[in-house]
């Protein structure tokens, strides 16, 4: 399905009952809504599930590449308005978690609960910002192939990379299909995002934190830090998974997700 949000074309998938608990899935960088297919298939019919392509990703329009996390939040809120959803459960992985956290800080009344996966509230360190600047230079000089090949081993466990699982190939295809302008624009947005750590104490929504046990990008300690600050949160570690825990171990991920949503509904 397609919607025009803030003047740009956004593609999304909707499944389940229109009267059910609304759950919006926000993917990581530089992926697409297709990363959530195993979750959409596992949800019961009484859940109104929406997965969308963040601006510049998947089938959503690239536009001018001048992105910020604030703009991504604007798009998310506009999508809720388009779907006539007053408040939703937000489930975000990595970049999707940054968007969900900032949306909760800005508009807490629009968020019923949070599922934060392999993400963090902290802003980029100086070293991380320099790393993103280097990646932008690399992409502008030689294209996205080297960036994609360098990122892939950080997203999955060594075993998944060796085995060339279907999840690995899916993410490789997604990243290679993402426009270079969208990748560089999103790298800038990620580097410039604000720190939401101070706002965690005021987020009283139920929250489920899920982290791959072998995630090198946002290790479980990042989840433990958020767990200590959020008033109503639980933390689950996903075994045999790295940064894309929902894809690498969907069975354990979905078990925790379904239990949490059943309590939230």
Q: Which residue ranges form the domains of the chain, and what is each CATH number?
A: 2-264 (3.40.50.1820)
Write out pLDDT tens, residues 49-100.
999 999 999 999 999 999 999 999 999 999 999 999 999 999 999 999 999 9
- Please count the residues of the chain: 265
Mean pLDDT of 190-209: 98
Compute the distance between CA of residue 116 and CA of residue 106 in angstroms, rounded to an integer: 17
Using pLDDT thresholds of 50, 70 and 90, give the confidence band for residue 18: confident
Locate the DSSP E strands across the chain: 2-5, 8-15, 21-26, 47-52, 88-93, 111-117, 207-212, 233-238
Compute the distance between CA of residue 106 and CA of residue 125 in angstroms, rounded to an integer: 23
Write out pLDDT tens, residues 47-59.
999 999 999 999 9
pLDDT of residue 55: 98
- Among 85, 86, 117, residue whose Cα is nearest residue 101: 117
Name the average pLDDT for the chain. Answer: 97
Using pLDDT thresholds of 50, 70 and 90, give the confidence band for residue 17: confident
- State how far the alpha carbon of 256 is from the alpha carbons of 56, 213, 219, 223, 263, in Å: 30, 15, 18, 15, 11
């Amino acid at each position: 399905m397609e919607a025009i949000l803030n003047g740009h074309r956004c593609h999304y998938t909707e499944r389940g009952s229109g009267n059910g608990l609304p759950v919006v899935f926000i993917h990581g960088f530089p992926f697409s809504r297709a990363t959530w297919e195993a979750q959409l298939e596992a949800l019961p019919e009484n859940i109104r599930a929406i997965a969308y392509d963040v601006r510049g990703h998947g089938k959503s329009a690239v536009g001018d590449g001048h992105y910020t996390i604030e703009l991504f939040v604007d798009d998310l809120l506009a999508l809720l308005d388009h779907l006539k959803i007053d408040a939703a459960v937000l489930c975000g992985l990595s970049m999707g978690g940054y968007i969900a956290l900032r949306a909760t800080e800005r508009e807490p009344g629009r968020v019923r609960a949070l599922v934060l996966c392999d993400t963090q509230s902290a802003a980029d360190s100086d070293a991380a910002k320099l790393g993103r600047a280097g990646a932008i230079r690399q992409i502008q000089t030689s294209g996205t192939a080297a960036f994609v090949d360098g990122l892939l081993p950080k997203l999955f466990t060594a075993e998944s990379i060796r085995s060339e699982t279907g999840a690995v190939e899916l993410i490789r295809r997604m990243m290679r299909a993402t426009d270079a302008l969208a990748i560089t624009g999103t790298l800038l947005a990620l580097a410039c995002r604000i720190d939401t750590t101070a706002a965690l104490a005021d987020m009283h929504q139920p929250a489920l934190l899920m982290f791959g046990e072998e995630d090198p990008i946002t290790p479980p300690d990042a989840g433990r830090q958020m767990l200590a600050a959020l008033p109503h949160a639980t933390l689950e570690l996903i075994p045999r998974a790295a940064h894309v825990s929902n894809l690498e171990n969907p069975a354990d991920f979905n078990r925790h997700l379904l239990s949490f949503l059943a309590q939230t509904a």
